[in-house]
Amino acid sequence: MRGFVGPSRAGEEKPLWHYDRYTGRWTTVATSEIGQGIGFYDYSSGTDYSAVTHPDSVWVRLENDFPRVREELKANRFEQWETRKDFLVEFMHMLTARSPLAMQQHELEVRKLRGMTVTSIADDRKSLTVDSMIPRPLPETKVRNWVISRMLEDVKKGAFWSSNLYWCLRYTDNEAEPFCTTDQAAVLRGEAPGPAPNERVPLELVHHPESLVIFPLSWQACMFGSPRKFDKAYDIAAPEQLVGLRAEQKQNCNRFVLATTRF
């Protein structure tokens, strides 16, 4: 989120402009005040962390490298962005795979599972005993841990869905006419019918000719992905593109917009 702090407000205690969709109001916030939740990625209480994959270990490399890569590219108006394209797409995938929406989708799927508890295993390990022959919903502790585990596996698999997409980057130098970000780090725009609420986006929708993946990197730059090749892989953003994208983000965000200025 620090990439969406404009130079004119860099020294402010609360440098980001925050739009709340529910109240329709703009306020100023610090990066530490927004987009976080205590225990959001924690396993269920009582889980032995030595026996599971710790979430921080999965995304620490991407989290640590992204600010450095962003600043490196910013030095030349993101002109060399294609040299870092794979990393940027991987980082985007991580943000979407660990998002609240992704966790809701995993939870819906896990709650459909049914199981039984193994009470004993034979010495020869060829048979076992279960507590019931009737499968039942998983206990809440198992649901939580399965959701976290599935999310981490999704992050580790990487952005395989992006392999057939073309990418471009558009930039701006005008802090008063910036790119913005929302609680949805990346969004998919398209004319084809989308999935039902909280359901996963099918790959065929991502690869639909009219689909467009939008991933703002900072107030200065935004990546776009499409099954169709772009006329230019790198160019300054047209003013109408910036205005239209900001209006779209303000209308479609789930909770908030973060920007260098109010609009």
Per-residue pLDDT of the chain (263 residues; tens, 9 = 90+): 999 999 999 999 999 999 999 999 999 999 999 988 889 999 999 999 999 999 999 999 999 999 999 999 999 999 999 999 999 999 999 999 999 989 999 999 999 999 888 889 998 888 889 888 899 999 999 999 999 999 999 999 999 999 889 999 999 999 999 999 999 999 999 876 665 555 667 778 898 999 999 999 999 999 999 999 999 999 999 999 999 999 999 999 999 999 999 99
Q: Say what the pLDDT of residue 197 is.
A: 56
- How far is the C-alpha of 236 from the C-alpha of 173, rounded, in Å? 9
Strands (E), 25-65: 25-29
Strands (E), the chain: 16-20, 25-29, 114-115, 118-121, 128-130, 136-137, 166-171, 181-182, 187-189, 212-218, 221-226, 234-236, 256-259
- How far is the C-alpha of 38 from the C-alpha of 180, rounded, in Å? 25
Q: Say what the pLDDT of residue 132 is.
A: 87
Q: Which is it for strands 136-137 and 221-226: parallel, antiparallel or unpaired? A: unpaired
- How far is the C-alpha of 146 from the C-alpha of 151, rounded, in Å? 8
| Domain-wise residue ranges, the chain | 2-259
Whether 27 and 15 have beta carbons less than 8 Å apart is answered as no
Listed residue (190, 178, 249, 248) closest to 217, CA to CA: 178
Whether 115 and 136 have beta carbons less than 8 Å apart is answered as yes
What value does the CA radius of gyration of the chain take, rounded to a whole number of Å?
A: 21
Q: Say what the pLDDT of residue 192 is.
A: 63
Query: In the Cβ-directed half-sphere of 69, how many Cα atoms lie within 13 Å?
Result: 20
Q: Say what the pLDDT of residue 53 is.
A: 95
Q: How much of the chain is in helix, strand and coil states, percent to nearest 5?
A: 40, 20, 45
What would you measure as the largest C-alpha separation in the chain, in angstroms?
72
Q: Say what the pLDDT of residue 205 is.
A: 87
CA dihedral 92, 93, 95, 96 (to 10 degrees): 120
Q: Say what the pLDDT of residue 199 is.
A: 63
Q: In what order do the strands lie in the sheet with 166-171?
A: 187-189, 212-218, 221-226, 166-171, 234-236
Phi and psi angles of residue 225, each rounded to the nearest 5 degrees, phi first: -125, 140
Q: Say what the pLDDT of residue 142 is.
A: 95
